[in-house]
């Protein structure tokens, strides 16, 4: 059966809640104060970003202090009438069985302006007269809707727990799940979630469930996915920009360098500028951008950078005049980059062989690799003795010979060279 790890490993007691030690202590003391007399502020208002343990803290607190927790969500108290129904519960400090009561109104931002039909106001009234502690939770306590309500509350801010604490928690979960996890992998997950503990646990479950080991390699590809998502957003901003400014802003958002961004735009323009005239205009802009790039390279004058960037972003954006949005067309990884990296080793070797040939033939290394090398290949495949002679004459090394012919032939040629 599938159980979310956020539930399975949810802290039952305050000891297991990470971070926000000071805030939690303040909350405990305030709840305990009720044993003597109702404090001046009869509600505590916890606020902070999602997934950091606000709800779980109140639940664990009720557990630790052995209190009865009455938990309500926004959907329960949108209207004035709905809230008034809780007035009865709030009028007694203890239950029939002597347990003390704690009332929680969670996810207060769930009552949005239009949906709030007197809910917040009625809640304020209850707080004024309540005989048991009331806790409120929202992401943003400073929403104008809560201005009046806030006056009756003790505000307690919850912050994102530090990464090191999140790592420790993930470690504990791995231990319980029988997963040997590399520290670097857990650190990566924790950092990526940006302090949101819930999403860190969810990521961990998605990546590690059913495994006995979790390595850095298992998780690091997520960064690639993030970057990929980023470039898609950037390309969308450029191809579908409404103004030059927004197209140009995309550059600052891109996590790739300008050369790479150029390749992405060049590769994807035909799919997204479907009208031939638009595409022609975009290609014109790209070619001008490329001219400026050439000047930067040649002269080292970085002032041209502005033009390079503007033509490839705003220039391409403004090319769109007749193309309709192409529905959902996925962006493609630039082929030129793929090709270049795939053939990098090959090109390096061909050029190195070309350089050897150049010395004897007095031609450029590039031409040598294109025009002479193919013939050398034929000789090497057919005549071991001649091949050995040529290899010696050109001063080719083992790696080069193995590049020109199959391993078996290369072995024969190398052996023959020994005898020369």
Ligand X SMILES: Nc1ncnc2c1ncn2[C@@H]1O[C@H](COP(=O)(O)OP(=O)(O)OP(=O)(O)O)[C@@H](O)[C@H]1O
> Least distance from C-beta 146 to ligand X, angstroms?
15
SS3 49: coil
Cα dihedral 161, 167, 168, 172 in deg (nearest 10):
120
Among 14, 19, 281, 323, binds ligand X (CB under 6 A): 19
What does the radius of gyration of the chain's CA atoms come to, in whole angstroms? 34
Which range in 14-22, 183-191, 228-236, 316-324 contacts ligand X by CB under 6 A? 14-22
> Least distance from C-beta 158 to Mg ion, angstroms?
10
- The residue among 49 and 118 lying less far from ligand X, judged by its C-beta, is 49
11 binds, among ligand X, Mg ion, none (CB under 5 to 8 A by kind): ligand X
52 binds, among ligand X, Mg ion, none (CB under 5 to 8 A by kind): ligand X
> Least distance from C-beta 103 to ligand X, angstroms?
16
Among 14, 24, 52, 353, binds ligand X (CB under 6 A): 52
Burial of 412 (0-12, 13-18, 19+ CB in 10 A): middle
Contacts of 140 (CB under 8 A, 6+ apart): 47, 109
The b-or-e profile of 319-333 (16+ CB within 10 A means b, else e) is bbeebeeeeeeebee
SS3 279: helix
Q: Are residues 416 and 366 in contact, defined by beta-carbon separation less than 8 angstroms?
A: no
- The residue among 55 and 323 lying less far from Mg ion, judged by its C-beta, is 55
d(CA 370, CA 373): 6
Sites for ligand X among residues 23-42 (CB under 6 A): none
Sites for ligand X among residues 99-158 (CB under 6 A): 107, 139
> Least distance from C-beta 176 to ligand X, angstroms?
13
No. of H helices and E strands in the chain?
23, 7
Which range in 52-60, 63-71, 252-260, 270-278 contacts Mg ion by CB under 5 A? 52-60
Sites for ligand X among residues 194-253 (CB under 6 A): 197-198, 201
100 binds, among Mg ion, ligand X, none (CB under 5 to 8 A by kind): none
Burial of 302 (0-12, 13-18, 19+ CB in 10 A): exposed
Among 23, 27, 53, 181, binds ligand X (CB under 6 A): 53
The b-or-e profile of 336-348 (16+ CB within 10 A means b, else e) is eeeeeeeeeeeee
Which range in 2-10, 291-299, 307-315, 345-353 contacts ligand X by CB under 6 A? 2-10
Residue with tokens 């007035």: 87
Residue from 363, 368, 338 nearest 350 by CA = 368
d(CA 234, CA 211): 35
Which range in 49-57, 175-183, 305-313, 351-359 contacts ligand X by CB under 6 A? 49-57
53 binds, among Mg ion, ligand X, none (CB under 5 to 8 A by kind): ligand X
Residue 175 φ then ψ, to 5°: -60, -45
Interface with Mg ion (CB under 5 A), residue total 1
Among 51, 119, 133, 334, binds ligand X (CB under 6 A): 51
- The residue among 55 and 369 lying less far from Mg ion, judged by its C-beta, is 55
55: contact with Mg ion by CB under 5 A: yes
396 binds, among ligand X, Mg ion, none (CB under 5 to 8 A by kind): none
> Least distance from C-beta 8 to ligand X, angstroms?
8
268: contact with ligand X by CB under 6 A: no
Site map (CB under 6 A) of ligand X, residues 65-104, x = contact: ----------------------------------------
6: contact with ligand X by CB under 6 A: yes
d(CA 192, CA 31): 35
55: contact with ligand X by CB under 6 A: yes
> Least distance from C-beta 166 to ligand X, angstroms?
8
d(CA 232, CA 239): 10
Residue from 45, 231, 8, 61 nearest 149 by CA = 45
d(CA 159, CA 151): 22
Burial of 293 (0-12, 13-18, 19+ CB in 10 A): buried
- The residue among 18 and 256 lying less far from ligand X, judged by its C-beta, is 18
11: contact with ligand X by CB under 6 A: yes
Question: Residues in the site for ligand X, rule: CB under 6 A?
Answer: 6, 9-11, 17-19, 50-56, 107, 139, 161, 169, 197-198, 201
Question: Residues in the site for Mg ion, rule: CB under 5 A?
Answer: 55
């Amino acid at each position: 059966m599938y159980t979310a790890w956020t539930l399975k490993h949810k802290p039952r007691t305050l000891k297991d809640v990470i971070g926000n030690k000071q805030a939690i202590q303040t909350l405990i003391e305030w709840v305990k104060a009720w044993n003597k007399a109702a404090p001046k502020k009869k509600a505590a208002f916890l606020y902070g970003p999602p997934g950091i343990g606000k709800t779980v803290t109140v639940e664990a607190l009720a557990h630790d202090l052995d209190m009865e927790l009455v938990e309500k969500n926004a959907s329960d108290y949108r209207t004035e009438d709905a809230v008034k129904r809780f007035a009865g519960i709030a009028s007694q400090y203890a239950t029939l069985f002597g347990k003390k009561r704690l009332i929680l109104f969670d996810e207060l931002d769930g009552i949005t302006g239009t949906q709030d039909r007197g809910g917040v106001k009625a809640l304020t009234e209850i707080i004024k007269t309540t005989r048991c502690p009331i806790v409120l939770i929202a992401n943003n306590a400073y929403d104008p809707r809560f201005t009046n309500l806030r006056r009756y509350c003790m505000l307690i801010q919850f912050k994102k727990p530090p990464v090191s604490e999140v790592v420790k928690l993930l470690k504990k979960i791995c231990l319980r799940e029988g997963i040997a996890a590399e520290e670097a992998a857990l650190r990566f997950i924790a950092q990526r979630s940006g302090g949101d503990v819930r999403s860190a646990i969810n990521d961990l479950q998605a990546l590690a469930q059913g495994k006995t080991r979790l390595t850095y390699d298992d998780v690091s590809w997520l960064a690639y996915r993030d970057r990929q998502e980023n470039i898609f957003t950037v390309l969308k901003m450029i191809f579908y920009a409404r103004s030059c400014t927004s197209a140009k802003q995309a550059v600052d958002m891109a996590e790739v360098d300008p050369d790479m961004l150029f390749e992405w735009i060049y590769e994807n323009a035909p799919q997204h500028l479907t009208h031939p005239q638009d595409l022609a205009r975009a290609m014109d802009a790209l070619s001008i951008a490329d001219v400026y790039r050439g000047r930067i390279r040649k002269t080292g004058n970085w002032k041209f950078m502005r033009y390079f960037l503007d033509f490839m972003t705003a220039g391409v954006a403004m090319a769109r005049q007749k193309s309709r949005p192409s529905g959902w067309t996925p962006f493609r990884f630039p082929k030129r980059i793929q090709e270049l990296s795939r053939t990098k080793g090959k090109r390096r070797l061909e050029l190195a062989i070309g350089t050897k040939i150049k010395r004897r033939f007095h031609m450029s290394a590039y031409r040598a690799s294109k025009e002479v090398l193919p013939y050398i290949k034929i000789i090497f495949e057919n005549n071991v003795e001649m091949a050995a002679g040529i290899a010696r004459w050109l001063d080719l090394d083992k790696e080069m010979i193995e590049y020109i012919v199959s391993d078996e032939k290369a072995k024969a040629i190398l052996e023959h060279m020994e005898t020369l």
